[in-house]
Amino acid sequence: MRATISSLVLLAVASLAQAQIGPGGQRPLALSCEQFSQTYHQKYFLDTVRAGLNAAMLGEALSDAEPGIQNLGDAASVAVLKVVDTKDLATPRMVRAYLQVVRAAFSQTQMKVACADDKTANVTIFLLDYLREKVEDTELQRQIDSTKEYVLKRAPLRNGGGN
C-alpha cells in the first residue's frame, strides 16, 4: 500500500515538474515573483519618473535630465501615484514637478507608447482634476488647466472619459 501511494506521489510530482518545464524543455509561461516584479517595475518606469520628478524639483529641464519620460503617456501619471507619498502629492512644489513630467510624457504628437492603454489620458486627466481641486494658488490652478489642455490635444480619453 505504501509503495502504491509513494508511486502515485512520485508520478504526481514528476507530472508537475514536467508541466513547469513545458514542452521541449521550454521555460514556463508564468512569471516568477521576481520576474513579475521586474516586469511590473519596468512597465511603469518608476525609476525614470522618480528621477524626472526630482530633476523638475531641482529646476532642471526634463529633456536633458530624463529623456526616457517622453512618450510614457498615462504610465507617467500611474508611476507618479506609485512613487509620491499622498501627503506630498498636492504640495505646490510636487504639482509643478508633476506638470513638467506630464508635459514631457505627452510631448510627442505621434506617441510610440509600448502599452496601448497608456496612449489615452484617463489617469492623467483624473489626477490633474484632483490636483486642481486640492491646490489653492490661482496661478498653479491656471498651470494645471493649461497642462490639461495640452494633454487633451495630444491624447484621447478612453470610453468617453469626462473633461
Please report the pLDDT score of residue 119 as a whole number: 80
Which domain, by its residues, includes 135?
44-157
User: Does residue 61 surpass a pLDDT of 90?
Assistant: no
Identify whether 114 is part of a domain: yes
Please report the pLDDT score of residue 132 as a whole number: 98
Please report the pLDDT score of residue 22 as a whole number: 42
pLDDT in tens, 6-44: 443 344 444 444 444 444 444 444 545 455 445 555 656
Identify whether 103 is part of a domain: yes
Identify whether 64 is part of a domain: yes
Identify whether 119 is part of a domain: yes
User: Does residue 64 surpass a pLDDT of 70?
Assistant: no
Q: SS3 letters for the chain? A: CHHHHHHHHHHHHHHHHHHHHCHHHCCCCCCCHHHHHHHHHHHCCHHHHHHHHHHHHCCCCHHHHCHHHCCCCHHHHHHHHHHCCHHHHCCHHHHHHHHHHHHHHCCCCCCCCCCHHHHCCHHHHHHHHHHHHHCCCHHHHHHHHHHHHHHHHHCCCHHHCCC
Domain count for the chain = 1
Higher pLDDT: 108 or 75? It is 75
Please report the pLDDT score of residue 109 as a whole number: 55
pLDDT in tens, 86-144: 999 999 999 999 999 999 998 875 656 666 777 889 999 999 999 999 999 999 999 99
Please report the pLDDT score of residue 110 as a whole number: 63
Cα separation, 40 vs 60, whole angstroms: 28
User: Does residue 57 surpass a pLDDT of 90?
Assistant: yes
Identify whether 29 is part of a domain: no
Identify whether 11 is part of a domain: no
Please choose, from the candidates 83, 82, 77, the residue with its C-alpha nearest in 3D space to the C-alpha of residue 125.
77
Cα separation, 78 vs 58, whole angstroms: 22
Identify whether 8 is part of a domain: no
Identify whether 106 is part of a domain: yes
